[in-house]
């Protein structure tokens, strides 16, 4: 696996407010291996050696756990189709980030980040059904929906950086 280096400049590709929200809510600095933040000749370079270091993957893991906990409630757990589909889609968010990281090129990694964004949108769509059927509360819907939005922004920013830094 080739190490994917992520320059701090990719932050410039996002709106400052989006980055600030990501940084504040997700402890962005902890998403990279601190010993690699400052390398000789690359003072602002950060490296993801493992997919577990990617903040979007960490956030997706939290969302997946939340989805599984919500779908275990009595009403939701009996709707096998929706329960299974939303669970698979939420797992797909984090799996695509990990798989992309394991690919050989930046372009492939970026493509898998886009697939992850698609899975996040799928979960968001399923959340509307769960809300309409009163399987989840408005508060649960809002919290999950916002977390999925944040993951999508993170993936978009990283994918954009990967494509533009060839």
Q: How many domains does the chain have?
A: 1
Cβ atoms 152, 21 nearer than 8 A: no
Q: 77: domain range?
A: 4-164
- Report which of residues 32 and 156 the model is more confident about: 156
The pLDDT tens digits of the residues spanning 16-31 come to: 334 444 434 443 333 3
CATH code for the domain of 27: 1.20.1440.60
At how many degrees (to 10) do helices 55-70 and 106-132 cross?
A: 30
When pLDDT is averaged across residues 54-75 and rounded to a whole number, the result is 95
Element (H, E) at 102: none
Q: Is the pLDDT of residue 12 over 80?
A: no
pLDDT in tens, 125-161: 999 999 999 999 999 999 999 999 999 999 999 999 9
Look at phi and psi of residue 45 and say left if phi exceeds 0, alpha if psi is from -120 to 50, else beta. Answer: beta
pLDDT band at 104 (very low <50, low <70, confident <90, very high): confident
Q: Is 33 helix (H, G, I), strand (E, B) or coil?
A: coil
Alpha-carbon distance values, 9 to 13, 69, 70, 90 (Å)? 8, 37, 38, 29
């Amino acid at each position: 696996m080739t190490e994917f280096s992520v320059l701090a400049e990719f932050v410039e590709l996002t709106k400052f407010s989006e980055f600030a929200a990501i940084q504040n809510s997700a402890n962005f600095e902890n998403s990279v291996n601190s010993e690699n933040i400052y390398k000789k000749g690359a003072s602002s370079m950060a490296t993801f050696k493992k997919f577990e270091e990617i903040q979007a993957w960490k956030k997706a893991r939290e969302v997946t756990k939340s989805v599984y906990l919500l779908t275990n409630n009595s009403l939701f757990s009996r709707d096998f189709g929706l329960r299974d589909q939303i669970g698979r889609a939420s797992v797909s968010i984090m799996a695509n980030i990990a798989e992309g990281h394991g690919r050989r090129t930046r372009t492939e990694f970026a493509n898998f980040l886009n697939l992850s964004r698609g899975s996040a949108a799928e979960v968001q769509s399923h959340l509307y059904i769960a809300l309409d059927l009163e399987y989840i509360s408005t508060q649960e819907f809002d919290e999950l929906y916002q977390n999925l939005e944040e993951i999508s922004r993170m993936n978009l920013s990283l994918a954009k950086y990967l494509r533009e830094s060839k």
